[in-house]
Structure 1
Amino acid sequence: MKRIVGMGMAVAALALVTGCQDGATTPKPAGTPTTTVGAPGGVQPTGAEQAPVVTKPAGDGTPATAGGGKCVDLKSPVVTAALGKLGANVGGEGFSAQSGTEAKVGSCPALMWVLADTPHGTASSPWHVMLFNQAGYLGTATKKSTSYTSVVGSSDRSVQVQYRWLAASDPSCCPSGGPVVVTLMLGADGHTVTPDRDFPTEVTNPK
């Protein structure tokens, strides 16, 4: 079972809590992982084993990730610093920001995303889904990078991530496993991120 780790809070602890969305308790199946964003001592940040990037939004409420009129500028200092914390991918290079939340400043969602890919990669190369709130970087959807991963939808407080995987006889171009869509929900505290189901073990622990 994998955890989503986010921005440090002085009094938060890595623990199982009830996920909330828009201030209401979100029902979830037994065993569904819920992760409170990071805290000193006991944090296991996703991606690289380092503390997340934490900044502050501009005084006018513009997200820390904003630039060029967009809520998420893929070349913003906050996104660039977060990418640097993912470490090297299988090719030895760092990850690069491929796409992200498209909303414009003035209508920015509470939970934003960036899809990071492998430069010069192939169809099976690893990806990371990076999550941000308006103050900065929360962490990645899964601790380890995953192949055949895409963001298929989002709302103000949620991001839908689709996972696929190779079956035994599949060529690397054409995974037949899945698809499975996991919805990541931002809690009422603005920091806790909760998946609505377990991540497929075929992508988190591939054989």
Structure 2
Amino acid sequence: MRRFAVLLATGLLAAGCGWSPPSAPPTSTADCGPGPTTDAVTSEFALLPPAPWQESSRGHTADCRMFWVVVDSGDDADSPQQVLFFADGEPVGSPTPEPRPYLSVSPQGDHNAVVQYQWRQGADEPCCPTGIGTARVTLEDGRLTILDPIPGP
């Protein structure tokens, strides 16, 4: 019984430290080729608000049909970001009309990806936004389809 109480207390302490979504298995562009070219990504910058956009991460679905590139416009945590999606090297859009900070993307199953949105609430520090939500995206007929409402403040 004492062992159960210690395990329960340990679990409760860990749960009190804040929630973090489980990490997805790592993706490697080596499995699917290089993905969209630098020129393809850079040409999409013209569709974004003016900023010094730079690539910060990229990935793909397990079936290699959909690639994404996360771009940001600065080095601090609150810098705007945008997720650009591609199919066969061609841009297919973004689920978020306006850039937002704290974006990440992970694969889900063979065909979908999950965009995680975070935002600051109340007195949150830039390092630690407590607002969090996700939206699944997929390709349908070569077009980006958003399967869930975009969360946010």
TM-score, length of structure 2 as denominator length: 0.69
Instruction: Tell me what 2:147 maps to.
Output: 196
Which secondary structure state, in structure 1, belongs to the residue aligned with residue 86 of structure 2?
strand
Which secondary structure state, in structure 2, belongs to the residue aligned with residue 183 of structure 1?
strand
Shift of 1:196: 2.2
- Identity value in percent: 26
Q: Note the residue ranges of structure 1 that are not aligned, 5 or more in a row.
A: 1-65, 203-207
Change (3 A) 1:85 1:94: farther
Instruction: Tell me what 2:58 maps to.
Output: 100
**Equivalent of 2:138 in 171, 182, 185:** 185
Q: Note the residue ranges of structure 2 that are not aligned, 5 or more in a row.
A: 1-28
Matched length? 124
Instruction: Tell me what 2:11 maps to.
Output: none
* Paired AA for residue 81 in structure 1: S
Instruction: Tell me what 1:25 maps to.
Output: none
Distance 2:63 2:106 in 1: 18
* Paired AA for residue 139 in structure 2: L
8 Å CA contact 1:159–1:185 kept in 2: the answer is yes
Kindly provide the CA deviation profile for residues 75-114 of structure 1, in whole angstroms up to 9, marking residues without a partner as x: 52212212233232xxxx33111111268xxx86111100
* Paired AA for residue 55 in structure 2: A
**Residue 159 (str. 1) matches residue 113 (str. 2):** yes
**Residue 115 (str. 1) matches residue 70 (str. 2):** yes
Distance 1:201 1:102 in 2: 24
Which secondary structure state, in structure 2, belongs to the residue aligned with residue 78 of structure 1?
helix
Larger C-alpha radius of gyration, 1 or 2? 2
**Equivalent of 2:34 in 71, 82, 104:** 71
* Paired AA for residue 111 in structure 1: M
Q: More helix by proportion, 1 or 2?
A: 2
Aligned counterparts, 1:20-169, within 5 A: 70-72=33-35, 76-88=38-50, 93-101=51-59, 109-119=64-74, 121-169=75-123
Distance 2:94 2:60 in 1: 18
TM-score, length of structure 1 as denominator length: 0.53
Instruction: Tell me what 2:129 maps to.
Output: 175
8 Å CA contact 1:167–1:176 kept in 2: the answer is yes
Q: More strand by proportion, 1 or 2?
A: 2
